[in-house]
Structure 1
């Protein structure tokens, strides 16, 4: 993780969400703004989308704004189909 960038890699799906969730629950961001790069995400499903939404909400409660970058087309489609584009 760079200073102000969190880079997620690999799959963001029902198999990877539990370990990411464990990290997110203990994570206490020290910055006010943070970029979350999804450039290296290879696959994402609805569980991964929900995990990202929870990560954004968790950071918000800690007074940290997360900006998603390099959002894969597959994830954009999930956001649109789920009607949650306004949350991200």
Structure 2
């Protein structure tokens, strides 16, 4: 599974890069649907995400559900302020709080 915006660091960490918006998400999601997690805990770093809109947020929610069906818990690290705002505006802080890594100083609540 390869896509320029999804880079596997190892079996437990991947990085998303660039824009996660309505123009980029459909093709990226086609790739991510094929991903089969190999661990029970998986980190997705958003440190290199330049922009995210509601389509990107929804894609991340679907990715979390995709992994959950495969007995894998996703933690998002380096969550950008844009995404935190979208989560708050969408009133899904409670849903997402268990998937936001606090160790990098970013909290969703």
| Structure 1 contact 53–87 (Cα < 8 Å) conserved | no
- Counterpart of 1:34? 42
Partner in structure 1 of residue 9 of structure 2: 2
Which residue matches 1:78? Answer: 86
User: Relative CO higher for 1 or 2, CA cutoff 8 Å, sep ≥ 6?
Assistant: 1
Q: Which runs of 4+ in 1 moved over 3 A?
A: none
TM-score (norm 2): 0.78
* Structure number with bigger Rg: 2
Report how far residue 87 of structure 1 moved. Answer: 2.1
Tell me the residue number matched to 1:62.
70
Match of 1:51 in 2: 59
Looking at structure 1, the residues matched to 94 and 31 of structure 2 have their Cα atoms a distance apart, in angstroms, of 25
Give the CA RMSD over aligned residues.
0.8
In structure 2, the residue corresponding to 1:2 is in which secondary structure?
strand
How many residues align? The count is 88
Report the CA distance between 1:53 and its aligned residue: 0.3
Unmatched 5+ residue regions in structure 1? none
Asked if the contact 1:12/1:45 (under 8 Å) is kept, the reply is: yes
| 1:76 partner SS | helix
